[in-house]
Chains A and B, each alone.
Chain A
């Protein structure tokens, strides 16, 4: 309990559960059920040492679920699975790092290695890790951002200039209207419900847009107060729009049309013309195109009755300050980038960006996924970032782009990447296709995981595999200079320290300590330490030098740079992210689901299955209310593939599956959204329109997505194109 009471406190440690920010004045117990689970799994007293691995051969572990593996406890000892071996065996730190160094040095090219980063990695570890990879000579830095908010980053960078949200927690309390689209905060960021409750008390209205209703968004019983414990709680959602999958683009387009029509009726009262004039461009073209919106197509794409869309538009017109929050429900579609652009356009029309109580709020899941990207964990770094890196650390970083998650999997599968090094995470279970990813992992020569606990990625390995135990947020990292701390960045761009004041780091059993103790090349536990130790071993190891090696000034410079990364205390009264008006532009695109290579276009009456992401449904956790398996019962390994429904469970369009509250079922789409060539990116600024349709800055669109009649290349995974 003492550990939990330090969670999310100003002098405590940051919750590894999610990236929702902490309020200025925290409760005594500033955590949610999910956070407590995440901390309990990390601060567990259970230990997984060499004796555990001696008892369980790799074949046995591979049959276990991710939940069972994670529940065994914290890793204490570096472990090696040698080629052809049946068991992991202990290995000293020096020998482990030497093995990694020798494998890296033996590669024909640095691009034959990939360095994956989990969103729990601290800023310091992430910065050191990307620096190591680039000094080694590659930008192969896939990370979990590739699988979640990549589309948010692409769309927001293009429209607002920065790939992050524009609001602070206080803005939620000042908003008149909060639209929560494609997000289940009650299950994935439960502390957001407290913020929504406070916003409701301050007078805000909440609209939730989701294919499924969520209990937490309906009514929240806040355990922090008596009303939540013994009363009926707080009703959060004022209007629930049960939208069809992927219909958000059409919804926000329709809202924009309704705003324009309202402006026509009462000129000068709806749109913020001064804001548009000063900060946006392309308005005339945008308005012209918006007025061409086909309502039949909108209703078909959204599955919503016209009355509900009009009701939402009415709420928008009554609200001076509007915030739109979203998560994976918007970001994991092939047309996610256009959708989020449309959200930005919706806010820009009434000047709802750059002032208190209004703005964009992409809600991140992993606790430091945004910070890792800030630190340079990105396979497509900007030239400015690389220039700065080169100037500061006196080496020439690789300029060609690296591999994201999907391309890394492909490269491993095809033999182009043979060393996979993961700084935390559970790559096998996190990536979208478990079977393909597992096959790719098995094709590697060496897989390395810096981890706190066992997971599926440790038991689906390359020819050789290493597990390097590390510290977690809850572990006190005591060094000669005193207790250490790390920094993390929350979902709203606030960077703060995470200090573990207690917690016993896992250590090898007493008999193993002499044999396995960290050697001179390893400065001690912790993710930055592992990278530092590896860097030293790499430099000492015989073999061809990589481009950055000869001029590498050593870790001291890295350490100095990492210290400078620490944020200075903010002056009182200043918000974390500026509320200055930012340059933005209005643009819109239309998208429809179209066929691609080997994939026919979806029939108009096709029912769509929806993957549900829930903390309790993640591969490492059991279903709620699970019962213990009776002795002798077979256990199936975890994986993304397990949650898919059988064909017999799918319902035909028009068949009533679940209760739709307050709305009649709208007709399913009768065809694709209309397509107009003139919609194609005509509203983008000149520097982004210069190339062909597929060469706009920052990303490629999925080839299945048709925009304006031309197959653009953009979307979820965003990949830069050489201009």
Chain B
């Protein structure tokens, strides 16, 4: 099941600031992708039959 839609806005007035990164993607990208996908699309294969 997908997570419910957020009830409130994110706090965009206090972004985290960190040292610049010098490489992109890798494992963090996989983890982030998985988190976003499961939050909205869920984990079950609820698809209409082709």
Interface residues of A (CB under 8 A from B): 1-4, 32-33, 36-37, 39-41, 43-46, 64-65, 67-68, 71-73, 186, 190, 193, 213-216, 218-223, 228-230, 232-233, 476, 478, 483, 501-505, 622-631, 633, 635-636, 642
Contacts and interface: CB of A to CB of B under 8 A. Distances in A.
A219 B24 contact: yes
A39 B6 CA distance: 18
A215 B23 contact: yes
Contacts of A39: 37, 41
Contact of A46 (B5, B25, B32, B43): B5
Given A40-B39, A45-B1, A215 B16 contact: no
Interface in B4-50: 4-6, 8-16, 20-27, 29-30, 32-33, 36-37, 39-43, 45-48, 50
A45 B1 CA distance: 8
Contacts of A33: 25, 29, 32-33, 36
B4 A626 contact: no
Contacts of B43: 1
Contacts of A626: 10-12, 15
Given A33-B32, A40-B40, A503-B47, A218 B23 contact: yes
Given A46-B40, A68-B6, A502-B48, A633 B24 contact: no
B25 A68 contact: no
A32 B24 CA distance: 11
Contact of B25 (A221, A504, A636): A221
Chain A interface main SS type:
loop
A37 B12 contact: no
8 contacts: A39-B41, A40-B40, A45-B46, A65-B9, A216-B23, A218-B22, A627-B14, A628-B8
A223 B8 contact: no
Contacts of B25: 32-33, 186, 190, 193, 216, 220-223, 228, 233
B21 A215 contact: yes
Contact of A504 (B2, B5, B11, B47): B47
A71 B27 CA distance: 25
Contacts of A628: 6, 8, 10-11
A572 to B, nearest CB: 28
Nearest to B39: A40
B1 to A, nearest CB: 7
B20 A629 contact: no
Contact of A229 (B8, B23, B27, B46): B27
Contact of B26 (A218, A229, A478, A642): A229
B47 A213 contact: no
Contacts of A630: 11
A65 B29 contact: no
Given A71-B40, A193-B25, 11 more contacts: A36-B37, A40-B41, A45-B1, A68-B6, A190-B25, A218-B24, A221-B24, A623-B15, A624-B15, A629-B10, A636-B12
Contacts of A2: 45, 47
Contacts of B45: 1-2
A120 to B, nearest CB: 17
B37 A627 contact: no
A215 B33 contact: no
> Which 4 pairs, one residue from A and one from B, show the smallest C-beta to C-beta distance?
A221-B26, A216-B24, A635-B9, A502-B47
Given A40-B41, A216-B24, A229-B27, A476 B13 contact: no
B24 A215 contact: yes
Contacts of B6: 68, 71, 628
B4 A46 contact: yes
A286 B14 CA distance: 52
A202 B35 CA distance: 34
Contact of B42 (A45, A220, A629): A45
B48 to A, nearest CB: 5
Contacts of B36: 33, 36-37, 40
B41 A45 contact: yes
B40 A41 contact: yes
A504 B15 contact: no
Contacts of B5: 46, 71-73
A241 B8 CA distance: 42
B47 A623 contact: no
A633 B33 contact: no
B39 A228 contact: no
B4 A629 contact: no
A46 B23 contact: no
Contact of B10 (A36, A41, A67, A232): A67
A234 B45 CA distance: 35
